[in-house]
Amino acid sequence: MRKALEGVRVLDMTHVQSGPSATQILAWLGADVVKLEATTGDITRKQLRDLPDVDSLYFTMLNSNKRSITLNMKSDKGKQLFVDLVKKFDILAENFGPGAVDRMGFPWEKLQEINPKLIYASIKGFGDGPYKFYKAYEVVAQAMGGSMSTTGFPDGPPLATGAQIGDSGTGMHAVAGILAALYQREHTGQGQRVTVAMQHAVLNLCRVKLRDQQRLAHGPLNEYPNKEFGDEVPRSANASGGGQPGWAIKCAPGGPNDYIYVIVQPVGWAPITQLIGRPELANDPDWATPEVRLGKLDKMFQLIEDWSADHDKWEVLAKLNEHNIPCGPILSTKEIIEDESLADNEIVVKVDHPERGEFTTVGMPIKLSDSPAEVRRSPLLGEHNQEIYGNELGLSESDMAELKASGVI
């Protein structure tokens, strides 16, 4: 069965997480992604290792379905090989610091000359301006994109989210830009530059907080549980932040993840009162409408928690869903990795690796009916040098041996 991006070739100069997360999606969609690494390899091959001298899970879980070649871009021969490679690819992706590829001798203008159809995608920490040359990491992007200031409890410090919205979130934005440029090229025949900044991607994911920042000019944010409001959006703990109030309530036996998140819609209030053994509250004028409940959301969720604390989260889940009440148990990483439904949906998958053996990874989250993704293992360092340099660029065995001996590949 033909893949959606079959025939599309990606020269992947990305490393760590933001770039590899983008190119991995492209690989899952069927593109031929060739990871171009320094002779020492992507730094994450050695980071956070759980097994000695084996590619880390950090690397393997972000680089599946790719091929790997090595190249020393500081050498003249390496630069010439890079030119030869660029001519054969549709997309070049990188997430080095600002200007790094330019300093290698390949600004966008030169890349366009080498391959006018090339789509050149770059992920940076920040856009043009005073932050442009600042170093960016996941939590730095969260801090400067609006996430941390609005995450946490009102009386606590700003918090980072466990979701990698700075790195992988930016990678997903980059995928959208790359695919748009690829589609436009079908009409124009020309490649173009695609740039995404981590700060900008995080801000895009935090847009509802900018919505609320502007609403503050007209009074308190009534759907927030906060008692006081200043001139900026406060941290609102586990409030849903939307039109329907929600909260994480405790369940038995009271462990760190024995919680379920419950959203109370107007239509759900009456059945909730039945479940918690307080049916009289359904028509009580002090509780019956969303408007009167809004001023005492903490008391409302405490009433629900008084009931849920005597049941485990799976029992609470079942009872709430019987009445079509939106809810979801807080799943630990252990529960997620063991969840049969996630395995059945091939979003948690097992992959064999020649050095580490079988491991569990995240599968393709985007499902296409006519071109399903197959998750294959990540490549070993330089595993495909012969395929690319020998078979495609026509280098002889002696040429390859010389390049390796001189540290070019």
Has 71 been labeled as part of a binding site?
yes
If phi over 0 gives left and psi between -120 and 50 gives alpha, with beta otherwise, what is residue 263?
Answer: beta
Q: DSSP H helical segments within 216-354, as ranges?
A: 269-275, 290-294, 297-308, 313-322, 333-337, 340-344
Helix (H, G, I), strand (E, B) or coil at 42: coil
Has 24 been labeled as part of a binding site?
no
With tokens 């020393």, the residue in question is 72
Has 73 been labeled as part of a binding site?
yes
Residue 386 is classified by DSSP as I
167 is a catalytic site residue = yes
Q: How many CA atoms lie within 13 A of 247 on its CB side?
A: 22
Has 248 been labeled as part of a binding site?
no
Has 135 been labeled as part of a binding site?
yes
Distance, CA of 106 to CA of 88 (rounded, Å): 16
Which phi and psi angles does 257 have, rounded to 5°? -120, 20
Residue 406, CA distances (Å) to 16, 77, 78, 394, 397 in order: 27, 10, 11, 19, 14
Reported as type and span, the H/E element at residue 37 is strand 32-37
Q: Cα angle at 143 between 140 and 146, to 5 degrees?
A: 140
Has 136 been labeled as part of a binding site?
yes
**Any idea how long the chain is?**
409
Has 243 been labeled as part of a binding site?
yes
Has 103 been labeled as part of a binding site?
yes
Has 147 been labeled as part of a binding site?
no
Helix count and strand count (H, E) for the chain: 17, 11
Distance, CA of 155 to CA of 235 (rounded, Å): 8
Has 138 been labeled as part of a binding site?
yes
Q: Exposed, middle or buried: residue 324 (CB in 10 Å: 0-12, 13-18, 19+)?
A: exposed
Helix (H, G, I), strand (E, B) or coil at 103: helix
Q: DSSP H helical segments within 156-231, as ranges?
A: 168-188, 198-205, 207-215
Has 95 been labeled as part of a binding site?
yes
Q: Of these residues, 167, 258, 306, 352, which one is catalytic?
A: 167
Has 96 been labeled as part of a binding site?
yes
Give residue 202's identity as a one-letter amino acid code. Answer: V
Annotated binding-site residue numbers for CoA: 17-18, 71-74, 95-97, 103, 135-138
Please identify every residue annotated as catalytic: 167
Annotated binding-site residue numbers for substrate: 242-244
Annotated binding-site residue numbers: 17-18, 71-74, 95-97, 103, 135-138, 242-244
